[in-house]
Amino acid sequence: MPFKSLFLLFFLCISTLFGTALNYQELTTKPRSIAKDYYIYRLLLEGNASKEEIGDLYMQVNRLNQNLKNQFAKKIDINANQTCKPLSVNNALKSGEECLVKLLTPQFVEPLDIAMKTALANKLRQHNNFTANWISALNSKKPFRMMEQKLLTEEFLKVFNQMPASYKKKLNFPLTKEFLYQMELLPYPYETFVKYIVLNADDFKKPLKSLLYTPKNDALTHKTLFYLGINALKANDTALSSTLFEKAAKRAYFRSDMDKALFFQYLSSGDKDLLKNIGDSFDINIYSLYAREMLNTTTKNITFLSPSYKKAAHKFDMQDPFEWYFLLNKIQGMDKDEIELLAVGFDAPDTLPVYAFLLTRIANYKHHYFIIPYEEHLKDFDAKRKALILSIARQESGFITSAVSASYALGMMQFLPSVASDIAAKQNIKDFDWDDMFKPETAYNFADTHLNYLNKYLYHPLFTAYAYNGGIGYTKKMLSDGKLFNSGKYEPFLSIELLQGEESREYGKKVLANYLIYMQHLGEKITLKELLETLTKPAQTDKFRQKD
């Protein structure tokens, strides 16, 4: 969704935004859901509810995100019924041991003075030795070294994973094999550690050399093994990287992760037999598509849908997020045959996204249905813009017009209310309401406007996708620092997987795959190979790397 990190709702003039906000009585009849959370949020901003009503709604929230929490905190005491009160420097030593263990974090403890840290560690020593250990370690001038020497692996990983980047840089020494083998016994904290070290390689040259090893624990996650493989590949140890990628492929749960690991195993080993395995994948991703291009084979499990009927058999309001919620709940208890019968009733222009969704579910996500819904609102766009909007919409929402995300991004194109309001103001749209984003014509129109802005600086669909998801500032920083998308033996594949920010990294790959498929369907002669090769040529991809 656009500018996901810039949720600036507090700066809006909210008085003109609430044409369809639900009142307290209406909200109490709605099921606990993200859609209900969104309308509760709107009610809190509007201010038309009593303190008692707000307290009642607080108990009906499905997911308390930070923005919703902040609005509740302005109206009621949300900590009133909590056993453990928020920690402060003044009340930490007065708090009970159970609350301290629950609430203390390395970030809270590190700035405290030596006496305070010592007192906290002593208070907890008998109750929770683990917490006491890492608190004591933070009194050391070299906490990571001290924990490594004492084999305090769990404490080491907790402190490292929760500390800010500036503190992590204190890990500037090699790690022993014994310590690495101990950390392997904690697969998920170790995954976080390895991923961070590899993605921030410039700050951890000594630890990176230590990570050039073959793990002992067969239960390591595929991500841990994949990033260890990336580290080995960057060090030109192709034998080690090939082994690690092979292990990662075997540990992968999702076929897309398996394809990625197999492709990097191919890059390491040059074994072309691996391409056949990737090319046979049922998943649609840049690696399976690229393998098929190299093998000169076609993708057989894609269908472009056109509606069979002019009107849906089911009475279904595509602009009501609660309708979508009820449908999702309804199909949870259905078998395949029942869903097939239900799906037929959605085979119509207005409900085509629901039809495609149900067919995909029936196929167990092994057949992929592409659609171009509400095409009448795209008729003025050229093929590139049309393909890009469709690619983003497919990834953001599957074209579900009433989609609401956990951060209250709205509609097919998943605009945050702040961004939608800004575009509406610039277009001088009077009486704009956030629920207008559930209208396909508004969603496509705003997407076009937003992409006009992004494409002033970004000319490649992958980089545009990064900016749509993570923000233009995020993408500018990534491109401007010069570390990624340069010429190299394994480029641009290495850069694609070394991008900071997992959500934007995975999002960009999926949008790029969609883009290729839509462009080819629209009659454009384009290959994934060409799209990928362009990424290392700044003049063809973005303004931020242009030299004066």
Residue 8, pLDDT above cutoff 50: no
Average pLDDT on 381-390 reads: 98
Report how far residue 147's alpha carbon sits from residue 161's, in angstroms, rounded to the nearest whole number: 14
| Residue for token pair 């906000």 | 21
- Mean pLDDT of the residues in the chain: 94
Report which DSSP code applies to 424.
Answer: H
Instruction: Render pLDDT for 266-316 as a digit per residue (tens, 0 to 9).
Output: 999 999 999 999 999 999 999 999 999 999 999 999 999 999 999 999 999
Nearest-CA neighbor of 390 among 321, 290, 465? 465
**CA 340 to centroid of chain Cα atoms:** 31
Q: Which residue has the higher pLDDT, 48 or 479?
A: 479
Where does the pLDDT of residue 20 fall: very low under 50, low under 70, confident under 90, or very high at 90 and above? low
Helix (H, G, I), strand (E, B) or coil at 377: helix
Average pLDDT on 165-189 reads: 97
Domain regions of the chain by residue span: 304-370, 376-540
Report how far residue 179's alpha carbon sits from residue 150's, in angstroms, rounded to the nearest whole number: 9
Beta bridge partners of residue 369, listed in sequence order:
303
**CA 319 to centroid of chain Cα atoms:** 25
Taking 3-state DSSP, the helix, strand and coil percentages for the chain, each rounded to the nearest 5, stand at 60, 0, 40
CB crowding 308-345: b at 16 or more within 10 Å, else e: eeeebeeebebbebbbbbebeeebeeeeeeeeeebbeb
Number of Cβ within a 10 Å radius of residue 141? 7
Instruction: Render pLDDT for 334-355 as a digit per residue (tens, 0 to 9).
Output: 999 999 999 999 999 999 999 9
Q: Which of 5-14, 67-76, 452-461 has the lowest mean pLDDT?
A: 5-14
Q: Which residue has the higher pLDDT, 459 or 19?
A: 459
Bond into 215 cis (ω within 30):
no
Q: For the whole model, what pTM was predicted?
A: 0.94
Cβ distance 139 to 118 under 8 Å? Answer: yes
Residue 478, pLDDT above cutoff 70: yes
Backbone angles phi and psi of 275, in degrees to 5: -60, -35
Rg (CA), the chain: 26
Where does the pLDDT of residue 15 fall: very low under 50, low under 70, confident under 90, or very high at 90 and above? very low
Q: Which of 32-36, 46-50, 508-512 has the lowest mean pLDDT?
A: 46-50
Residue 16, pLDDT above cutoff 60: no
Instruction: Render pLDDT for 107-157 as a digit per residue (tens, 0 to 9).
Output: 999 999 999 999 999 999 999 999 999 999 999 999 999 999 999 999 999
Cβ distance 362 to 382 under 8 Å? Answer: no
Structure confidence at residue 12 (pLDDT): 38
Number of Cβ within a 10 Å radius of residue 225? 24
Where does the pLDDT of residue 85 fall: very low under 50, low under 70, confident under 90, or very high at 90 and above? confident
Residue 14, pLDDT above cutoff 60: no
Report how far residue 154's alpha carbon sits from residue 131's, in angstroms, rounded to the nearest whole number: 10
Average pLDDT on 420-446 reads: 96
**Terminal Cα-to-Cα distance of the chain (whole angstroms):** 32
How long is the chain?
A: 548
Cβ distance 14 to 45 under 8 Å? Answer: yes
Structure confidence at residue 189 (pLDDT): 98
Where does the pLDDT of residue 46 fall: very low under 50, low under 70, confident under 90, or very high at 90 and above? confident
Antiparallel, parallel or unpaired: β 302-304 and 368-370 = parallel
Nearest-CA neighbor of 167 among 121, 205, 110, 104? 110
Report which DSSP code applies to 308.
Answer: S
Q: Is the dihedral of CA 61, 64, 68, 69 positive or negative?
A: positive
Cβ distance 447 to 31 under 8 Å? Answer: no
Helix (H, G, I), strand (E, B) or coil at 467: helix
Domain 376-540 has what CATH class?
A: mainly alpha
Where does the pLDDT of residue 47 fall: very low under 50, low under 70, confident under 90, or very high at 90 and above? confident
